[in-house]
Amino acid sequence: MNKPVIRVLSNLARAGGTLVSKCLGAMEGVVLLSEIHPFDRRFYNPLQQARDWYQLLEPAELEGRRFEFNEAIGLIQRRCRERGRTLVVRDWAHIDFIGVPFVARPPMRSQLTVLLERDFRVLQHALTRHPVDQWFSTSRLDIMRGRLELDAFLAGYRQYAEHCLATGFTRYEDFTRAPQKAMRRLCKALRVDYDDDFLGRWPDNPRVTGDTSGSSRGSRLRRIEPLPQRALDPALLQRFRDNRDYREAIELLGYRDPPTTT
């Protein structure tokens, strides 16, 4: 028997995942579950999102019952199919590749993908952001301050870059410069029907997790615009350049060194 298809969108923290998810989830017929991880449902529970955001489940169906992860995703998938909707699961990839401060030793592979592939055929696509900009943005988060070491971050980032190369990826920078073009490509990769009206609907889409406090790109603006690339002190840029993971990652993903301050 053919396995049912599950669509997975991956991103690390501060890589535009909130913005892109709001856009994708604003498309007609899309059900997007946000920042889902099979081994940590303390924060984002797929069954609760399906029930509260999309009314795919009744409270009585969940009361007093414990679901295995793939069982829960399968139930949500069936409800989407019955209603003619397309399910996309946004991965909480930070746990698997960076870890801090949730796990001490991330496995450096997508645990969501490994588990889902037991019962589903997984279509995947990933989001990336330049590692320098992502490092600064992530390290400024309150939960990361003083904890996120540069070499450890770059080691996880490089492993994630290899994951992206295997699944196909969209760069956040490309998305902000040409959102419709980038979204068409993303939808084609995930086999989601593209809906051009997302540009008018995404700012008011509340069905997303991540930084919605006002400090992230996905929550602060109502217009999609590119951010200027951060200029680095030459000595700090040299720290990046001296790191093999950094050099390999930017080559894999087609990035260049940022400009330096004068």
Q: What is the pLDDT of residues 4-15, one digit of tens each?
A: 999 999 999 999
In this structure, is residue 254 part of a structural domain?
no
Packed helices 150-167 and 244-253: angle between N→C axes, nearest 10 degrees: 30
With respect to residue 255, please indicate whether it lies within any of the assigned structural domains: no
What CATH number is attached to the domain comprising 83?
Answer: 3.40.50.300
Q: Could you read off the pLDDT of 129-174 as tens digits, one per residue?
A: 999 999 999 999 998 988 999 999 999 999 999 999 999 999 999 9
The answer to whether 2 touches 121, Cβ cutoff 8 Å, is yes
Domain membership of residue 261 (yes or no) is no
Q: For the chain, which ranges sit under pLDDT 70?
A: 1, 41, 211-220, 262
Judge whether 249 lies within some domain.
no
DSSP state of 108: S
Is 243 domain-assigned? no
Q: Is residue 235 part of a domain?
A: no
pLDDT in tens, 38-50: 988 677 899 999 9
Domains in the chain: how many in total? 1
Q: Are 14 and 216 in contact (CB under 8 A)?
A: yes
Whole-prediction pTM: 0.94
* CA distances in angstroms from 77 to 63, 72, 159, 195, 210, listed in the order given: 19, 9, 29, 21, 23
Quick check: is 182 in a domain? Answer: yes
DSSP lists the bridge partners of residue 128 as 171
Range of the domain at 53: 5-151+166-207+215-229
> Is residue 85 in a domain?
yes
Identify the pLDDT of residue 1.
66
> What is the model's pLDDT at position 231?
83
